[in-house]
Chains A and B, each alone.
Chain A
Amino acid sequence: MTVRRLAAAGLAAALALSSGLLASCARPEAAVILAGSTSVQPFAEALAQEYMKTRAGLLVEVQGGGSAAGILAAQSGTAGIGMSSRALKEAEKGLWSVEIAKDGLAVVVNPANPVTDLSLDQLRTIYTGVVTDWSQVGGAKGQIHVITREEGSGTRSAFMDLVMGKHEIDPRSIVQDSNGAVRQLVADDPGAIGYLSMGLVDARVKAVSLGGIAATREDVVNGTYGLSRPFLFVANGEPTGEAKAFVDFVLSAEGQRLLEAQGLVAVQQGGAS
């Protein structure tokens, strides 16, 4: 008797639990899932929000994870579209990809720092730890506090490719794990130098020019400003259906205008390969 009552109670509990689970699953299923680079993520989120306004009831989900994870997710199909903030490596060239925008990497210092220009060589020697005082690169006397991103970050690997080449970043450098944290530190510390996505530079920090060329949109477009990288959407085969519709929106004049407004550099339409 008791056992049976217990069993009945257990069954009731199980039913209640499962119906609760079902109810929580009732939200609309994502029609398009994007995952990958945390540099691309905020822009993709803005695009998704704008897109969902025009398509009521449709859910476009944007997740982070990093460029490597994004490319992996696209390969395995966990995400319909992977986001990458670096060019594809040779082994990844089999994937479908399209450049949605270009992003300049800005080298930033505190607004109180008198330094306005660094050569690529000076920047490299600062990051290798050879040059340690601002007076060695034309600034006021004071220790340089070098800030870099963590291993695995797409922004860091772009900086390594574009600036450091074969040289290593001084292991004594301060490591922060987001563009926002780098910007906050540089804004607070008169001796700091850091690098971040050009679209995220604001009045709290000062972008220095490199070899006399300022980090402006025009110079990124025509290639005179060396520190730029592509923002890519990748997928396992050309997207179809809702994913294709979203990619088309991103590449449309409206989508590109949105990216420009957020500080990125738009690309010509139809750059798919």
Chain B
Amino acid sequence: MTPFKERIPGFVFLLFALSALSALALIAAFLFVEGVPLIAKVGVGPFLFGMKWAPSQGLYGIFPMIVGTVAVTLGAAVLGVPVALACAVFLTEFAPRAVSAVVRPAIQLLAGIPSVVYGFWGLIFIVPAIRTWFGGPGLSLLAGSVILAIMILPTIISIAEVSLNALPRLYKEGALALGMTHWQAIRTVLIPSAKSGILAAVILGIGRAIGETMAVIMVLGNAVALPRSILDPARTLTTNIGIEMGYASGDHQQALFATGIVLLLIIMALNSLAQVAVNRRRT
């Protein structure tokens, strides 16, 4: 049996590990305790699929915000994923060491810019540009998607790069030995082999986009109606909480917690998906 003295560090570290876990448990418990009564009162169907959000009239339908969340996230993925993947392939396959030594930290830096700065920049540059070039109020799904596409780049690039780098050297050497060109090897061997890691990267990037609040509040326009085009303003689940929490009380506040529950479930589902994608590679 290990002497008592030797067991102390393990015990201490266990306590710290548990504190992270209990924070998650506390937040989840709080969300559910505050939010579930409201969902029960309104009904799951009317809450999730109700078209109208008007707390002053006791109407709590979050469907337009679910649509807004999905739309702005899809937009960010469409704009951001190809760029991110190209960047990851460039870094692993094409970039000379001197170039990647500059590009890689620069991308990491992108992750360190506070989201309020992204939002402010979007409000001052992207929004007026969209207003001038495409019309509409400028505050729109498109503006939100552009900002989010930039914000998810570092997440996707770094994970995709890691999974490309993790491929055995033999894959590439074998492909080249069979007479493939470099590009053929990348396209038909390397990318398909790293598929599950790349998929995980994309899913985690999407999770990042769904959770973003501050930057989106500033450029999305926050209208509580189904957007009819990418130039229409919209509201996401996160921004609904962010924009209304200041004044909310009673049922209204509970409804915002309930919005948080839906968000938590979506993020949990996405993270599990990413986990599945990663695990599939191992088997």
Determine whether A189 belongs to the interface, using a CB cutoff of 8 Å to chain B.
yes
- Whole-angstrom CA separation of A38 from B137 in the bound complex: 26
- Given the known inter-chain contacts A168-B54, A175-B222, A188-B128, please indicate yes or no for A145 contacting B5, CB distance below 8 A: no
B252 surroundings in chain A (CB, below 8 A): 151-152
Within 8 Å of chain B (Cβ to Cβ): is A262?
A: no
Q: Judge if A179 is at the interface, Cβ distance under 8 Å.
A: no
**Contact at B139–A185, with CB atoms within 8 Å?**
yes
Q: Give Cα A69–Cα B245 distance, bound, in whole angstroms.
A: 11
Interface flag for B157 (CB, 8 Å): no
Chain B residues bordering chain A, tally (CB within 8 A): 33
Count residues of A near B (Cβ-Cβ below 8 Å). Answer: 34
Q: Say yes or no: A174 contacts B249, CB within 8 Å.
A: no
Query: Could you tell me the distance in whole angstroms from the C-beta of A4 to the nearest C-beta in chain B?
Result: 13
| Contact (Cβ within 8 A) A151 B247 | yes
B243 touches A175 (CB 8 A): yes
| Interface residue? B195 (CB, 8 A) | no
**Distance in Å: Cβ of B215 to nearest Cβ of chain A:** 14
A173 to B139, CA, bound (A): 11
B179 at the interface (CB under 8 A from A): no
| A152, closest chain B residue (CB) | B247
Contact with B along A144-177 (1 / 0, CB 8 A): 0100001111100100100000001011111111
15 contacts between A and B (CB under 8 A): A6-B8, A66-B247, A68-B249, A143-B137, A150-B243, A151-B248, A152-B55, A152-B56, A170-B225, A171-B64, A172-B232, A172-B233, A174-B221, A174-B223, A188-B128
- Residue with the highest number of chain B CB atoms closer than 10 Å, among A67, A171, A189: A171
Any A CB within 8 A of the CB of B217: yes
Q: B interface vs A, CB < 8 Å?
A: 5, 8, 52-56, 64, 123, 127-128, 131, 135-139, 217, 221-225, 232-233, 235, 243-244, 246-249, 252
Q: Does A230 contact B (CB under 8 A)?
A: no
Q: Which residue of B lies closest to A64 (CB)?
A: B246
- For residue A177, which residue of chain B has the nearest CB? B243
* A175 adjacent to B221 (CB under 8 Å): yes
Q: Which residues of A contact B (CB under 8 A)?
A: 2, 6, 38, 64-69, 72, 143, 145, 150-154, 157, 160, 168, 170-177, 184-185, 188-189, 191-192
| Chain B residues with CB under 8 A of A172 | 223, 225, 232-233
CB <8 Å contact, B136 and A143: yes
Once bound together, how far apart are the Cα atoms of A76 and B223, in whole Å? 34
Q: Are A177 and B232 interface neighbours, CB within 8 A?
A: no
- Please state if A151 and B223 are interface contacts (CB–CB under 8 Å): no
CA distance A192 to B136 in the complex (A): 10
Q: Is the CB of B217 within 8 A of A177?
A: yes
